Structure 1
Amino acid sequence: MELTVIGHWGGYPKKNAASSGYLLEHEGFHLLIDCGSGVLSKLQNKLEPEELDAVLISHYHPDHIADIGVLQHARLIQGFLGKEIPTLPIYGHHFDQHEFSKLTYKEITKGIAYDPNEVLTVGPFQVSFLKTSHPVPCYAMRIEANGKVVVYTADSSFKEEFIPFSKEADLLLCECNFYGNQKGKSSGHMTSIEAGKFAKEAAVKQLILTHLPHYGNLSDLVHEASAEFTGIIRLAEEFQTILL
Structure 2
Amino acid sequence: MKLTIIGYWGGYPKKNEASSGYLLEHDGFQLLIDCGSGVLSKLQNIIQPQELDAVILSHYHPDHTADIGVLQHARLIQGFLGNELPTLPIYGHSFNEHEFSKLTYKTITKGHAYDPEGTLTAGPFKLSFLKTNHPVPCYAMRIEAGGKTLVYTGDSSFKEEFIDFSRNADVLLCECNFYGNQNGRSAGHMNSVEAGQLAQKAEVKQLILTHLPHYGSLGELITEASVQYSGIIKLAEEFQSISL
TM over 0.5: yes
The match for 1:131 is: 131
The match for 2:113 is: 113
The offset of 1:84, in angstroms, is 1.3
Counterpart code for 1:96: N
Say yes or no: does 1:145 pair with 2:137: no
Structure 1 CA distance for aligned equivalents of residues 70 and 62 of structure 2: 13
* SS of residue in 1 equivalent to 2:35: coil
Structure 2 CA distance for aligned equivalents of residues 159 and 228 of structure 1: 16
Say yes or no: does 1:81 pair with 2:77: no
Structure 1 residue runs of 4 or more that deviate by more than 3 Å after TM superposition? none
Unaligned regions of 5+ residues in structure 1, if any?
A: none
The match for 2:19 is: 19
User: What's the RMSD between the two structures over aligned residues?
Assistant: 0.2
Structure 1 CA distance for aligned equivalents of residues 110 and 137 of structure 2: 21
The match for 2:173 is: 173
Q: What percentage of residue pairs aligned between the two structures are identical?
A: 77
Counterpart code for 2:105: Y
Unaligned regions of 5+ residues in structure 2, if any?
A: none
Structure 2 CA distance for aligned equivalents of residues 213 and 196 of structure 1: 16
Structure 2 CA distance for aligned equivalents of residues 35 and 153 of structure 1: 15
The match for 1:231 is: 231
The offset of 1:136, in angstroms, is 0.1
The match for 1:46 is: 46
Structure 1 CA distance for aligned equivalents of residues 67 and 237 of structure 2: 19
Could you list the per-position Cα deviations for residues 173-218 of structure 1 after superposition, in whole angstroms to 9, with x for gaps in the alignment?
Answer: 0000000000000000000000000000000000000000000000
Q: Aligned residues, how many?
A: 244
Structure 1 CA distance for aligned equivalents of residues 59 and 225 of structure 2: 26
* SS of residue in 1 equivalent to 2:142: strand
Counterpart code for 1:39: V
The offset of 1:13, in angstroms, is 0.1
Structure 1 CA distance for aligned equivalents of residues 168 and 39 of structure 2: 29
Counterpart code for 2:192: S
Structure 2 CA distance for aligned equivalents of residues 204 and 185 of structure 1: 23
Counterpart code for 1:70: V
The match for 2:95 is: 95
Could you list the per-position Cα deviations for residues 14-73 of structure 1 after superposition, in whole angstroms to 9, with x for gaps in the alignment?
Answer: 000000000000000000000000000000000000000000000000000000000000
Could you list the per-position Cα deviations for residues 79-135 of structure 1 after superposition, in whole angstroms to 9, with x for gaps in the alignment?
Answer: 000001110000000000000000000000000000000110000000000000000
* SS of residue in 2 equivalent to 1:178: coil
Structure 1 CA distance for aligned equivalents of residues 7 and 185 of structure 2: 23
Using the size of structure 1 for normalisation, the TM-score is: 1.00
Structure 1 CA distance for aligned equivalents of residues 182 and 4 of structure 2: 29
